[in-house]
Amino acid sequence: MRIAVNCRSILLNHQTGIGRYTYHLLDSLGKIDAANTYILHAPKPLFSFKRQLPDFSKYKNLKPYNDYFKAGVGACDVYHFPCPDLIGAPKGKCVVTIHDLIYKTYPQGHTPQAIEQTDTHMKEIVLKADRIICVSENTRRDLHSSFKISPEKTTVVYNGVDHHLFYPFSKDERIKAASQLAELGVKAPFILYVGTIEPRKNLQGLLESFAALKERNIFQGQLVVVGMKGWMVENTASLIKQLGIEEDVIFLGFINDAHLCQLYNMTEVFVFPSFYEGFGFPILEAFACGAAVVTSNTSSCAEIASSTALTVDPKDIQAMSGAIEKVLKDKEFKASLQQAGIKRAREFSFEKMAQATLNVYQGLL
């Protein structure tokens, strides 16, 4: 087969969740499938030097194609959009990956105009796509509840986690990590949050829970926030000042995977209190590193966490602070969560994700 994959999401160094998905899909397809040819379609302006495809040259059947003039890739058996993009009229069967339906499930994060445009675009995808990959059962349910679509047209393919990047540290690695994190201003003990700073991620709820723990002298360490700034960041800054925790909250912004792995390994508890997620990469990454996890009981968070994390109503500040307190105080319970998380993470791999995706391609022909 000649399979084209839209690579727009991996042309910049700072990759979001969709960029991670696309990169690891291609890398894993290169590992498991030498029989088919993959065209890495990179639509970009002629002099856009900052936009570059990652180096996949070790895989001889992954062929980069920089499309400077929007000419398209020509005839192919399958064209895969790793996220809902402008489909147009690709030559070949069309596969689209849907990561979430945030604009419907959390509409307060979008303008009415953006919701209308996205809905029009999604209707086109549902009509034109030959197969739709959903990254979780929750996303698949959201898709079917929002659109009239045949169940045979959708397939759930879970994301993976890179076990070479995210893994539990040895004692020596923990000593080294403590030293390197100190250079970033991070000191043990700390609670960790990873995610874009925007209302849907519910950092506000975590800040209020953290302040409650500080006020009751349950925890006197730091809250470490990792992630790029989204929107309504000013509200976050004013809330931190209002709660009186300016000296206790440290913002690291975007960091590399090596530092992220160190944080997951060294945290007292990883808290992911999002109101809605299509999948939730950080939950799996934290599990793989042996972190105890507190997350939401909503959307895909509970699905991915299964029974290996404490799940709470993200709107319930008292429940969230209570769950964090339980992990902090009960060392035996914390250890059981850590071991269960490591085991749960082993159920997910990018190679498994790539094989399931390849099965979707093959099922179209």
154-156 and 293-296 beta bridge pairing: unpaired
Q: What is the mean pLDDT of the chain?
A: 94
Distance CA 330, CA 320 (A): 16
Confidence class for position 62, pLDDT limits 50, 70, 90: very high
* 3-state class (DSSP) for residue 282: helix
Beta-bridge mates of residue 79: 4, 94
One-letter amino acid for residue 296 of the chain: S
> Is pLDDT of 109 > 80?
no
Confidence class for position 44, pLDDT limits 50, 70, 90: confident
Residue with the two structure tokens 């890495």: 40
Confidence class for position 85, pLDDT limits 50, 70, 90: confident
Tens digits of residue pLDDT in 1-17:
999 999 999 998 766 77
CB atoms within 10 A of CB 133: 24
Task: Check the CA dihedral 209-215-218-223 and report its sign.
Answer: positive
- E-strand stretches of 149-206: 154-156, 190-194
**Cβ pair 318, 344 in contact under 8 A:** no
Q: Mean pLDDT, to the nearest integer, of 109-117?
A: 87
> Is pLDDT of 260 > 80?
yes
pLDDT of 70: 84
Q: Tell me the longest C-alpha to C-alpha distance in the chain.
A: 65
Please state, in angstroms and as integers, the Cα–Cα distance from residue 335 to each residue in 128, 189, 326, 332, 340, following that order: 48, 16, 12, 5, 9
pLDDT of 350: 96
Confidence class for position 231, pLDDT limits 50, 70, 90: low
> Is pLDDT of 26 > 90?
yes
Distance CA 165, CA 247 (A): 31
pLDDT of 232: 64
**Cβ pair 324, 295 in contact under 8 A:** no
pLDDT of 234: 76
pLDDT of 258: 97
One-letter amino acid for residue 63 of the chain: K
Distance CA 235, CA 230 (A): 11
pLDDT of 40: 97
Please state the pTM of the whole predicted model: 0.93
The domains found in the chain, sorted by start residue, are: 2-160+350-363 (3.40.50.2000), 171-345 (3.40.50.2000)
Residue with the two structure tokens 């379609």: 41
H or E element, residue 41: strand 37-43
Tens digits of residue pLDDT in 114-163:
899 999 999 999 999 999 999 999 999 999 999 999 999 999 999 999 99
Give the best-scoring range by mean pLDDT among 84-93, 120-129, 223-232, 293-302. 293-302
> Is pLDDT of 87 > 80?
no
Q: Mean pLDDT, to the nearest integer, of 225-240?
A: 85
Omega cis (within 30) before 151: no
Tens digits of residue pLDDT in 298-326:
999 999 999 999 999 999 999 999 999 99
> Is pLDDT of 88 > 80?
no
